[in-house]
């Protein structure tokens, strides 16, 4: 194995606004009533996981995390009567963030609606194979079947916190190609029909292998019709075989 720096580039992660929307849903609050202190702490936890995965997009999350921490700090500081501008500045920053979230939410909902409508029309009026485009939009682009992408990231975070992970500054590339992980994991799920997400990481403490396994599971769910379900909030996530297998 050769030691080298690397970063994982995935199109699964849509950015910090998508994570903030997820946190708002998870906290069961309206965007306008976003609990800044709680969301900032939770956002930081997710950022730590993304940093562990060494994703290309982590820089976008740093900017948002810094903004959240700054707003949280300003809210925590005691204000005197002569300091009337500071709360106003903080509220302006918060309002701008909320505005961006609302705009993103509208865009996301419109995009989801168009995808669902296209899928519905495809079922009602199926086109001939020659009429279909060779490359089409993945209908699971925004969600990973029954379980959201951020649910999987959260589950990975719980696993990482229980392990003693080798924290190399430079990561060794795994000799095992990602395609091998995909084949192995896929075969196991088909044979057992339903496998606990956490079980794939049992006995594994090397960061590079944890990342490879996680990426393989994402690939199976996104592009090979495997499914994921989470019967209880914050509970175990189960990986299920494709319905047609």
pLDDT in tens, 38-48: 999 999 999 99
Domain boundaries, the chain: 1-142, 143-245
What is the spatial distance between Cα 69 and Cα 36, in angstroms, rounded to a whole number?
9
**Residues 143, 149 contacting (CB under 8 angstroms):** yes
Give the position of tokens 């795994």: 174
pLDDT tens, position by position, 124-175: 665 554 444 444 444 444 446 568 899 999 999 999 988 876 655 455 556 7
Q: How far is CA 168 from the centre of its chain?
A: 23
Second-level CATH architecture of 143-245: Orthogonal Bundle (1.10)
Exposed/middle/buried for residue 201 (C-beta within 10 Å: 0-12, 13-18, 19+): buried
Q: Would the pTM of this model clear 0.85, i.e. be above it?
A: no
Average pLDDT, the chain: 79
- Looking at residue 211, what is its pLDDT? 92
């Amino acid at each position: 194995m050769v030691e080298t720096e690397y970063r994982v580039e995935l199109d699964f992660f849509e950015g910090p606004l998508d994570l903030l929307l997820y946190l708002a849903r998870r906290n069961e609050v309206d965007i306008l009533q976003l609990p800044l202190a709680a969301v900032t702490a939770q956002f930081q936890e997710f950022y730590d996981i993304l940093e562990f995965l060494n994703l290309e997009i982590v820089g976008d999350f740093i900017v948002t995390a810094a903004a959240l921490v700054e707003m949280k700090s300003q809210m925590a500081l005691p204000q005197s009567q002569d300091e009337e501008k500071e709360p106003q500045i903080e509220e302006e920053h918060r309002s701008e963030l909320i505005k961006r979230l609302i705009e993103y939410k509208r865009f996301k909902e419109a995009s989801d609606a168009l995808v669902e409508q296209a899928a519905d029309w495809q079922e009602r009026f199926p086109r001939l194979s020659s009429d279909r485009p060779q490359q089409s939009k993945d209908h699971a682009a925004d969600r990973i079947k029954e379980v959201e992408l951020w649910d999987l990231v959260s589950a990975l975070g719980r696993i990482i916190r229980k392990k003693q992970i080798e924290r190399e500054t430079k990561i060794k590339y795994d000799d095992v190609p990602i395609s091998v992980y995909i084949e192995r994991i896929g075969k196991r799920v088909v044979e057992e029909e339903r496998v606990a997400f956490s079980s794939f990481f049992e006995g594994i403490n090397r960061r590079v292998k944890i990342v490879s396994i996680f990426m393989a599971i994402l690939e199976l769910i996104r592009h090979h019709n495997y499914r994921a379900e989470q019967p209880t909030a914050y509970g175990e996530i189960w990986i299920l075989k494709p319905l047609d297998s």
